[in-house]
Homo-oligomer: A and B are copies of this chain.
Amino acid sequence: MSAAHGDKLNAILDAAYRLFGTRGYYETKMSDIAEEAGIAKGTLYLYFSSKEELFTAMTKRDFDGFIHQLRIVLQCAHTLEEQLTAAAAHHLTYYYRVKDYTRLFFHAPNNDQALMDALNEFLQRYSGIIAELLTSYDIANPKLHAQSFIGILDVFKMDILFNPMFTEEDLELRIDFAVTLFRYGCK
């Protein structure tokens, strides 16, 4: 894979991310993506054999970045409290940064097994990392706890993505709230 090839590939994935994210899968045309990427329509098919495959590839790159970044922020934290807070901050900040790309979270192609697999794999990796963390602190049921922690965080995406008044302070508040609830329960 030459540098030029990689450049064009990333240009396509970037364009796909922007358009799928802002308009949704079915509302985005391959020709729009080609134009946004600055290449010809036919060229897309030299890189991806179908629209679905492109969508899945774009999603996977996004997932990989999420996981990669998660590992990095976790390395800078040392107590359980710090690590959960880092993970929560990473999760919510991610949504906060992409609040203009809400379609990513609601509109995907429907009958694509590869995408479903990628989604499941992502969740396994994500909850695996959190579970590993909890295991190292001897917390029981690490997998269920990890999933629940992610669930607590994820429910706030509705606020973040759809409430235009949502501020960074609201973000901080929810980060601390989620960690505290997870650790100590409601009050």
Residues on A lying within 8 angstroms of B by beta carbon are 23-27, 103, 106-108, 110-111, 116, 120, 123, 134, 139-141, 144-145, 147-148, 150-156, 158-159, 162, 174, 177-178, 181-187
Bound-state CA distance A154–B152 (Å) is 9
Closest 10 CB pairs of A and B: A151-B155, A24-B110, A185-B185, A184-B185, A151-B151, A148-B152, A151-B152, A183-B185, A107-B110, A27-B110
Nearest Cβ on chain B to A103's Cβ, whole angstroms: 6
Task: Pick the residue among B134, B148, B184 that contacts A184 (CB under 8 A).
Answer: B184
Q: Inside 8 A of A182's CB, which chain B residues have their CB?
A: 181, 185-186
Q: Inside 8 A of A23's CB, which chain B residues have their CB?
A: 110-111
**Interface secondary structure of A, over-half rule:** helix
Bound-state CA distance A150–B23 (Å) is 28
Task: Pick the residue among B24, B116, B158, B186 that contacts A183 (CB under 8 A).
Answer: B186
Nearest Cβ on chain B to A126's Cβ, whole angstroms: 11
Q: A111-B27, A162-B120 are in contact. Are A150 and B155 (CB under 8 A)?
A: yes
Nearest Cβ on chain B to A173's Cβ, whole angstroms: 8
Instruction: Name the residue among A141, A177, A181 with the largest chain B CB count within 10 angstroms.
Output: A181
Q: Inside 8 A of A103's CB, which chain B residues have their CB?
A: 110
